[in-house]
Amino acid sequence: MAEWSGDRVLQSVLVVDDDELVRRGWERALSSAGKDVHVASNRMGALAVRRLADVAIVDLHLEMGESGLELLRELKFLDPALHTILISAGMSVSISVEALRAGIDDCVVKPIAPRQLLHHLEHGDFRTEDELLSLEDVEWEHIASALRIHDGNISHAARALRMHRQSLQRKIRSRLARSIDELC
């Protein structure tokens, strides 16, 4: 884990995640906090903008079966000063240990509010009282995780979530509509 002494101000953040809604959410939250945000969904996109970032937040599972852990190793090799964070809803102790041994600075379990992680990076602690995710956001993270595990198959994800397929489809449509409204 990287040592932070005192308060630090980060100017630029790289977020790499294969889920477009997650990328947009991080980009919106970090931009509203005054950060330059660069997003990518895969290794090539991340490598193209890596020099612009003070910190890289990378999901464990990326597009086309790419490993976020391997990407972070590569980013850290190319720029040892880059603060690297592996983030995943499926974080395990063994993955965390492997990441820390590889020189990754932090491992974080999803869901986490972007401002909460930013506070940790700039001040060295996690404040949760004012940055808790809403129940709606936690529910969506759980649904998104089930969809990823079942490769986007709504019927299989609904079965795993113990709900009707039509109910899951309504929740997905509702979430997408809200996301579109927020972008406009």
pLDDT at 1 (0 to 100): 39
Distance, CA of 129 to CA of 122 (rounded, Å): 17
Positions of CATH 1.10.10.60 in the chain: 135-183
User: In the prediction, which pLDDT does 158 show?
Assistant: 94
Q: Which fold has domain 135-183?
A: Arc Repressor Mutant, subunit A (1.10.10)
Instruction: Give span(s): CATH 3.40.50.2300, the chain.
Output: 12-123
Q: Where does residue 113 fall: left (phi above 0), alpha (psi -120 to 50 degrees), or beta otherwise?
A: beta
Q: Which residues of the chain have pLDDT under 70?
A: 1-9, 124-133, 179-184
Do 9 and 134 form a contact (C-beta atoms < 8 A)? no
Nearest to 75 by CA among 108, 109, 99: 99
3-state helix, strand, coil in the chain (%, to 5): 55, 15, 30
Structure confidence at residue 131 (pLDDT): 52
The per-residue pLDDT for 103 is: 86
pTM score, two decimals?
Answer: 0.65
Residue 105's pLDDT is what?
87
Architecture of the domain whose range is 12-123 = 3-Layer(aba) Sandwich (3.40)
Q: How far apart are CA 11 and CA 121, in angstroms?
A: 12
Q: Quick one: tokens of 18?
A: 């294969």
What order do you get walking across the sheet with 36-40 strand by strand?
A: 36-40, 12-16, 55-59, 83-88, 106-109
